[in-house]
Amino acid sequence: MYEALRLTPYAKEKAFEESVANTLKSLGYQEKCSEWLASDGNHSGKAFIPHPFGKNSCPDFILVNDNKVLPLEVKTSTKRAPTFGATPPTAGYLYLFARPGYDGDQMLFMGDDVTTEYQREIIESCKAEVRRVIAEAKKKLNENENLHGITVDASVKVNQQSYYRLSGRDDFHDHQRADFLRENAKAHISQFEAGKTE
């Protein structure tokens, strides 16, 4: 699976997700709906569920191999590093980062190899504080005469740039830990395929 995903040609996000689904099908994974995973019973064999929690929620896919589960999040960008939106890289998730010019060498990595639990806690704390400040500001705006419905909004976005400082290179595919990320993802996928992951 590692090589097949790595070789998936770049396309813009939705088209790339379709390519990933086709790659999974070519590997013998059957497409299922999220209700299948929620149902009681034996989930033997190989399956994948696209957008199990909705199109705007992580992960993009859940892979199932004989009752073992591996979340897969797909990131595409024309930039040199992935952006993660409001959700930091998640422990236990496999990520596939695709960008133009890297057909045949897309980057696979595990979320917990990119962010630590401590970093995720800081990000979640920051998001909670931003929500609190925004709610307070909205309340204050609405306490007075607000004839035109003026309001405020903000969100916390998670971006990637720390590797640049480590290596002096400005490319996620070519920083000093890139080989480690690839090899760990490859090992994790091998364990998943052998039925050894949770």
Show the tokens assigned to 72.
């897969």
Q: What architecture is domain 2-114+160-193? A: 3-Layer(aba) Sandwich (3.40)
Would you call 73 helix, strand, or coil by DSSP? strand
| pLDDT confidence of residue 41 | 67
From residue 60, alpha-carbon distances to 64, 93, 94 in Å are 13, 10, 10
Show the tokens assigned to 98.
């695709």
pLDDT digits (tens, 9 = 90+) for 74-93: 988 887 778 888 888 899 99
Domain spans of the chain, in order of start = 2-114+160-193, 117-156
Q: Alpha-carbon distance 25 to 23, whole Å?
A: 5
- On whether the CB atoms of residues 16 and 74 are closer than 8 A, the answer is yes
Q: What is the mean pLDDT of residues 12-26?
A: 89
- On whether the CB atoms of residues 90 and 111 are closer than 8 A, the answer is yes
Residue 62 has pLDDT above 80, yes or no: yes
Q: Give the predicted TM-score (pTM) of the model.
A: 0.85
Residue 24 burial by Cβ neighbours in a 10 Å radius (0-12, 13-18, 19+)? buried
Q: What is the mean pLDDT of residues 167-195?
A: 81
pLDDT digits (tens, 9 = 90+) for 22-44: 999 999 999 998 788 777 667 77
Q: What is the mean pLDDT of residues 99-120?
A: 85
Would you call 16 helix, strand, or coil by DSSP? helix
Count the neighbouring beta carbons within 10 Å of the beta carbon of residue 151.
Answer: 11
| pLDDT confidence of residue 198 | 52
Q: Alpha-carbon distance 63 to 96, whole Å?
A: 13
Percent of the chain's residues with pLDDT above 90: 42
pLDDT digits (tens, 9 = 90+) for 142-178: 887 777 888 888 888 887 665 445 555 556 767 778 8
* Residue 162 region by backbone torsions, left for phi larger than 0, else alpha for psi between -120 and 50, else beta: alpha
Q: Alpha-carbon distance 120 to 25, whole Å?
A: 33
Higher pLDDT, 21 or 153: 21
